[in-house]
Chain A
Amino acid sequence: MVRFNTNGSTSITGSLTSNGTCDTWLWLKSLTDGIFEDIAFSSPQSITLNICQDINCTTSNLTNNYGVDLSGNTGVTFPTSRAGTTFYWVGSTAGNTKTGTFSTGVNDNWCNPDNWSLTSGVYSGTNSCIPGAQDNVVFDANSFTAGAGTVDLDLLLQSCNGMTWTGIPAGCTMDAGVTTNDRELIIFGSTILNANLDNQFESLITFFAHSATVRTITSNGSNFFGNIDFDYAGWNWTIADDFDMNGEQRADVEFVRGTVNGQLRMIGRSQGAHIQLQLQQLSLMDQRHKTVVKR
């Protein structure tokens, strides 16, 4: 990923080489989400399968083939632009041997195409792609017909549009097999968790946006374990029910930009604390036995 300077400008006098794949997305974006950055090329440049956000190509000579026009891009051409679709998790679906054509191994990793399908419960053994920022992800009853399982967010950066957990059996976990806390999940759409999900993802979840649609976060009795950022100027999130941070000292929330409506309950830290939020910029940090709110 390259995040270009928002306040200054960038000039590339030679070539830009950035050819991703649908199981390894490359990102070009601005340093500050929602605010474009200026970039100029001395000659026309052609890249493939990049996710672009807030790129203002002042020389209008950047072509992103099969790429994703996430939002805020100008001067960039997107031939055969890749539209969002829905990926279903089949990592614990009966019959999934994880030895398919594009498998990265017998694992529960997000980055493994063999754990994803474009049809609920159908393991083909030939899926070659993983979700990108434009795609919805669904974890449903058909995802776990072989029994409760885990989903490991193994990449430094993984992303999706909407995320839905529904109808899953008891005992399902997110990130039970990964313990490092240097990773990030970016969710651009709405989020629906499930009471049978034990969310152990202890890295950063960032709620971003790329349109004016109000995003809804519904926990349904599940929880968040790591750090949470809300970060996109001018957009809105609604927290539909208790937003439980259950990650001991890891569970910090930062409202960088945007508006959040709802309540947060800090289980095990500030038991039963409910905070009503209507804000443009706020930083909240739950520390031992106290809650600090700064705006």
Chain B
Amino acid sequence: MTGTLNVGAESFVNLGGGVEGPMTFGTISLASEAQLDIQNASSTTTMANLSLSTY
């Protein structure tokens, strides 16, 4: 996945859902109180940038 994945305030995102498979992302950006779970079994996850924000 290229581009930016924006996770809005108080939102929850699960990447992988427990299923095997490598994942590649551009930028992942989390707003205030957002939660990101990375759950792709034993696979590798690669991302260019990761950002967590307080607002």
In contact, B38 and A4 (Cβ under 8 angstroms): yes
* Contact pick for A9, options B37, B39, B44, CB 8 Å: B44
A253 to B10, CA, bound (A): 25
CB distance from B14 to the nearest CB of A (A): 9
6 inter-chain pairs at a CB distance below 8 angstroms, sorted by A residue, are: A3-B35, A8-B43, A12-B48, A12-B49, A15-B50, A17-B52
* Contact pick for B48, options A5, A13, A156, CB 8 Å: A13
A-chain residues with CB within 8 Å of residue B33 when the two chains form the complex? 155-157
Asked whether B2 is an interface residue with its Cβ less than 8 Å from the other chain, the reply is no
CB distance from A14 to the nearest CB of B (A): 4
In the A-B complex, list the 3 residue pairs whose CB atoms are closest, starting with the nearest. Answer: A24-B54, A18-B52, A14-B49
Closest to A182 in B: B10
Q: Which residues of A contact B (CB under 8 A)?
A: 1-5, 7-21, 24, 26, 31, 50, 155-157
How many residue pairs, one in A and one in B, have C-beta atoms under 8 Å apart? 87
Main secondary structure of the interface of B (DSSP, over half): strand
Closest to B52 in A: A18
A157 to B52, CA, bound (A): 15
A156 to B48, CA, bound (A): 27
A-chain residues with CB within 8 Å of residue B40 when the two chains form the complex? 5, 8
Sample of 4 more A-B contacts, CB < 8 Å, known A1-B34, A31-B37, A155-B33? A3-B38, A8-B44, A12-B50, A14-B47
In contact, B42 and A1 (Cβ under 8 angstroms): no
Given contacts A1-B35, A5-B16, whether A21 and B45 have CB atoms under 8 Å apart is no
Asked whether B41 is an interface residue with its Cβ less than 8 Å from the other chain, the reply is yes
Given contacts A5-B38, A17-B52, whether A156 and B10 have CB atoms under 8 Å apart is yes
* Contact pick for B54, options A3, A12, A19, A157, CB 8 Å: A19
B17-52 with Cβ < 8 A to chain A: 27, 30, 32-52
